[in-house]
Chain A
Amino acid sequence: MIRKATNPLLMIAIFLSIVLAAPLLGVGSSAGSIAHGLEGDAEIDRFVALAKRFGVRTEDWFVAYFHRPRDVVFDSTDRGRPNGFDKPDEAFSDAFSKFLSEADSNGDGRYDLRDEGFDPEYDAEDLERFDRNKDGILTPNDVAPRPKPALRDRIRRIIEALGHDKQRYVGWPEPRQTPEKRIERRILDLQASEQVQSIDRGKTARAIQAVVEERASLLAPGIARGRKIFEQRCTGCHGPEGRGDGPAAAFVGNTLDGKGALALPRNLARGVFKYQSRDVGRHPTDEDLFATIRRGLPGSAMPASTDLTDPDVWDLVDYIKHLAERAHRARFADEAVPLFLQSYGLSVVEPVPDPPSATPTLVQEGRYAYMLMQCFACHGVSGRGDGIRAIQADTDGRLIQARNYQATRLLKGGSSPSEIYRTIAHGIGGTPMPAHTDDVLLLTNDMSVDFTEAIRIGGGAVDEDSGDDEEEEEEQEEEYEEPKYEFRLVPGISQTEVDRIKAYVSTLPSQQAASTISAADHLRASRMRRWALVHYVRSLMPLAEHDRHSSDTKKDMVEKKATNNTKGTSQ
């Protein structure tokens, strides 16, 4: 429906009407009165009853969110649209700086949590913005009304009436039970047989085709429902086709001081995801996508969807997968197995072992690893996201900045030890954040400890065959010159620290000794080093006291899944 609209104004009109009509699409006939605002208590009650039943966000929520996102999502990076949905032009900037200077209530030149009356040490008042799960772990609470007269009161009443505070999503979902799971086994068997007898491809291909078709028909109803919800809630940012080009997308990319780069709405058609329990190259599990949609991605514009019912979120998951698979099929018409199916069973969720507790020694080891493995190249020597390579392009060619640990207690991929462990192990798909696989984490005593950064010193032609002594004439390409580098010491590291790290390195095994270590010991050492990194990162974050000693939600999920998988194979 939106695809036909090319006129930007029309787009905006349609988009606004979708946003405004969001609850209506879900609740059917009660449209008129709601679209005109909630007048009296009776109206609110009626709406709340409907909203509860159909699990939709309120109209006010959307109005508030797209107007000034921080009204309702306190850590949203979305700058809002005081002027409605127009291009972020000068008028917008002016209006926005005005908004900011007003919002900067403590006059420290920037708008942040302090302006909302929060104590930087995250006092009790702040904790109200979080929920606790049964283990006492604080979890994001996306609805944090900030003081703004009429609208706030209205939203608060609605939220209270909906009981959202009490039903906030906390951990990971139960492993999904869908009809699709039933055919997973059959696909796996077929793939195995294809591997064995690649000669008789025709027959296996036909069998796979049959299963694929069966899967498609099983998923179709969910996809159709998912599309509806997507159009109500997600197209504003992700665009009608999920390509990350919705009308709100233009507003969310840069930090306010222009010195940083925040994530733009994802192009979901690419099929590259950031937070997943499988290695890069595989695809996220349904549960991964569920968690992302439920929790949102704190520190980006992507809001949580705490008010949707579980089946609604699963439908969205199916639709997200469908968007990626559809785009993939358009390019690879001859590929028999749909994108996500390719990852079934081929990879198990990496069993995240029990997190060791964060002893000072382990944290210190984490610091050594952080320096030796050059996390500082992006995250900076002190973890502020200001390394020399901090801002680089992501898969979609948009800039993204390495995380500043010191400024956040909520990481996008989760802040519990095992969630950070997962992030470090798999990296973040489509961004510069690399994977840190099991086999390389073993540092050795002969490695260089000079903390070198590669500094670009100009674009002089680097001869590709520098070993050749043949004289090369001056070669000046018009457009592109090979960059040239010098390896220099990273500023900001003290000599004391260098000495300490050197001492640490000398206690490590030599390369030769390392290559004779048994695979199991190797793995154990790598994992421990990763835990050290996890605890070092967490030591930089402004975590509350009970965050630090939290047990783990992710661990439960992993264990559940492991049993689930064994069940699957023995069927």
Chain B
Amino acid sequence: MKRASFSKIRFVVAAIGTVPLLAVAQTAEAGENGKQNSPTGTIVGKVSFDKKTRLKSKRKEFVKVVVSVEDIESSAEDMAMARDSRNTPVIDQKDMTFRPHVLPVLLGEMVDFPNSDPLFHNVYSNGETKRFDLGMYPKGQSKQIDFDKPGIVELRCKVHSEMQAFILIKKNPYFATVQKDGSFRIDNVPVGTHTLEFWHPKAKAFSREVTLEDGSTVELDVAFSERRGRRG
């Protein structure tokens, strides 16, 4: 269900732009304050790219990978709690690039889109998960919008059609962005057998089953094996 969402104006000092960005990458690992008493485990691992993906196993590609537990739908309260425990996720527009290129967020979360370039940018999406157009705004201004439907949103700028970013909207807080060295870590995942999905904008997504016991840490070493098909 699409609902009216408000984009608010905010005059931010231009320099702030990039700071929260780094913070977000780390806090994307899910909520510390998950239920304290229910049994949980941890998933850690490393990803790489096989030759057929034609992507290099390099920092630049690693940070575009999102690892997420797909088969859990958190309750409304848990989601609210997870949202409160995170900083507002940010995608900056700098040097004609959306940064970061891939951002996982929680269902219902507001995302901030500051503009740090010396010209007007625009943020819009025509996809079916969320359709919006934030209008044109100059350097130093920012706009926000919330994402109220799970799925993938491809962001673009109308003026600079080569600008592109992806927002992955998740139904639970058990996800992480892969670090520059290819490693990832998801804490406080409820015990049980889960489907773990690996996503990259240019490689074919795949999933793995993991079984967690209380207090255990599961370790994975996985690789993207194929390139994503056209419009995949």
CA gap between A446 and B9 in the complex, in Å: 17
CA gap between A487 and B96 in the complex, in Å: 10
Q: Does A27 contact B (CB under 8 A)?
A: no
Identify the closest chain A residue to B138 (Cβ): A447
Cβ–Cβ contact A464 & B136, under 8 A:
no
Task: Please give, as numbers and ranges, the residues of chain A lying within 8 Å of B76 by CB-CB distance.
Answer: 198
CA gap between A462 and B1 in the complex, in Å: 38
Cβ–Cβ contact B161 & A440, under 8 A:
no
Q: Does A105 contact B (CB under 8 A)?
A: no
Choose among A373, A437, A452 the residue with the greatest number of B CB atoms under 10 Å from its CB: A437
Identify the closest chain A residue to B180 (Cβ): A465
CA gap between A448 and B3 in the complex, in Å: 35
* Interface 0/1 of B1-33, CB less than 8 Å to A: 111100111010000001000000000000000
Task: Please give, as numbers and ranges, the residues of chain A lying within 8 Å of B101 by CB-CB distance.
Answer: 464
Known: A454-B96, A487-B119, A514-B11. A281 touches B1 (CB 8 A): no
Shortest Cβ gap from A18 to chain B (Å): 31
Shortest Cβ gap from A172 to chain B (Å): 23
Identify the closest chain B residue to A440 (Cβ): B137
Residues 39-91 of B at the A interface (beta carbon under 8 Å): 54-56, 58-60, 63, 76
* Interface 0/1 of B116-134, CB less than 8 Å to A: 0111101010101011111
Known: A479-B54, A483-B96, A515-B11. A454 touches B133 (CB 8 A): no
Q: Does A539 contact B (CB under 8 A)?
A: no
* Interface 0/1 of A171-198, CB less than 8 Å to B: 0000000000000000000010011001
Task: Please give, as numbers and ranges, the residues of chain B lying within 8 Å of A347 by CB-CB distance.
Answer: 4
CA gap between A478 and B140 in the complex, in Å: 36
CA gap between A405 and B141 in the complex, in Å: 29
Q: Does B160 contact A (CB under 8 A)?
A: yes
Q: Does A378 contact B (CB under 8 A)?
A: yes
Partner of B136, one of A346, A440, A467, A482: A440
Q: Does A439 contact B (CB under 8 A)?
A: yes
Shortest Cβ gap from A333 to chain B (Å): 13
Cβ–Cβ contact B140 & A281, under 8 A:
no
**Interface stretch (choices A9-17, A61-69, A428-436):** A428-436
Q: Does B194 contact A (CB under 8 A)?
A: no
Partner of A440, one of B3, B9, B63, B126: B9
Q: Does A342 contact B (CB under 8 A)?
A: yes
Q: Does A272 contact B (CB under 8 A)?
A: yes
Q: Does B99 contact A (CB under 8 A)?
A: yes
Report the interface size class on chain A: 35 or more
Q: Does A291 contact B (CB under 8 A)?
A: no
Cβ–Cβ contact B158 & A434, under 8 A:
yes
Cβ–Cβ contact B180 & A436, under 8 A:
no
Q: Does B100 contact A (CB under 8 A)?
A: yes
Known: A439-B7, A440-B9, A477-B56. A483 touches B162 (CB 8 A): yes
Partner of A280, one of B119, B132, B138, B162: B132
Q: Does A540 contact B (CB under 8 A)?
A: no
Cβ–Cβ contact B159 & A378, under 8 A:
yes
Shortest Cβ gap from B171 to chain A (Å): 14
Partner of B120, one of A332, A373, A393, A433: A373
CA gap between A465 and B95 in the complex, in Å: 12
Known: A373-B136, A464-B100, A483-B162. A337 touches B1 (CB 8 A): yes
Shortest Cβ gap from A437 to chain B (Å): 4
Known: A347-B4, A393-B161. A434 touches B60 (CB 8 A): no
Cβ–Cβ contact A377 & B159, under 8 A:
yes
Cβ–Cβ contact B126 & A430, under 8 A:
yes
Known: A462-B95, A467-B18. A450 touches B118 (CB 8 A): yes
CA gap between A483 and B161 in the complex, in Å: 12
Partner of B1, one of A342, A393, A485: A342
CA gap between A393 and B164 in the complex, in Å: 14
Report the interface size class on chain B: 35 or more
Cβ–Cβ contact B133 & A280, under 8 A:
yes
Residues 423-482 of A at the B interface (beta carbon under 8 Å): 426-427, 429-430, 432-437, 439-440, 443, 446-448, 450, 452-454, 461-467, 472, 475, 477-479, 482
Identify the closest chain A residue to B139 (Cβ): A448
Cβ–Cβ contact B100 & A389, under 8 A:
no
Q: Does B135 contact A (CB under 8 A)?
A: yes
Task: Please give, as numbers and ranges, the residues of chain A lying within 8 Å of B63 by CB-CB distance.
Answer: 464-465
Residues 85-114 of B at the A interface (beta carbon under 8 Å): 95-97, 99-101
Known: A447-B138, A478-B54. A464 touches B158 (CB 8 A): no
Cβ–Cβ contact B54 & A435, under 8 A:
no
Shortest Cβ gap from B18 to chain A (Å): 7
CA gap between A430 and B118 in the complex, in Å: 26
Cβ–Cβ contact B134 & A437, under 8 A:
yes
Task: Please give, as numbers and ranges, the residues of chain B lying within 8 Å of A392 by CB-CB distance.
Answer: 161
Cβ–Cβ contact A440 & B54, under 8 A:
no
Residues 351-397 of A at the B interface (beta carbon under 8 Å): 373-374, 377-378, 389, 392-393, 395
Shortest Cβ gap from A484 to chain B (Å): 8
Shortest Cβ gap from B25 to chain A (Å): 10
Task: Please give, as numbers and ranges, the residues of chain B lying within 8 Å of A395 by CB-CB distance.
Answer: 126
Cβ–Cβ contact B128 & A331, under 8 A:
yes
Partner of B2, one of A281, A378, A467: A281
CA gap between A479 and B54 in the complex, in Å: 9
Q: Does A106 contact B (CB under 8 A)?
A: no
Q: Does A133 contact B (CB under 8 A)?
A: no
CA gap between A198 and B55 in the complex, in Å: 43
CA gap between A166 and B159 in the complex, in Å: 43
Task: Please give, as numbers and ranges, the residues of chain B lying within 8 Å of A466 by CB-CB distance.
Answer: 95
Known: A280-B133, A479-B54, A483-B162. A464 touches B1 (CB 8 A): no
Identify the closest chain A residue to B58 (Cβ): A475
Task: Please give, as numbers and ranges, the residues of chain A lying within 8 Å of B131 by CB-CB distance.
Answer: 272, 280-281
Q: Does A550 contact B (CB under 8 A)?
A: no
Choose among A279, A342, A434, A466 the residue with the greatest number of B CB atoms under 10 Å from its CB: A434
Apart from A435-B134, A439-B8, 9 more pairs, CB < 8 Å: A427-B133, A427-B135, A432-B161, A435-B124, A439-B135, A440-B136, A443-B138, A478-B54, A511-B140
Task: Give me the interface of B with A, judged by CB distance under 8 Å.
Answer: 1-4, 7-9, 11, 18, 54-56, 58-60, 63, 76, 95-97, 99-101, 117-120, 122, 124, 126, 128, 130-141, 143, 158-162, 180
A-B contact list, 16 entries, CB within 8 Å = A191-B1, A272-B126, A279-B132, A280-B124, A280-B132, A281-B131, A389-B161, A395-B126, A429-B126, A439-B8, A439-B135, A452-B118, A454-B119, A465-B63, A487-B119, A511-B11
Closest 3 CB pairs of A and B: A437-B135, A280-B133, A434-B158
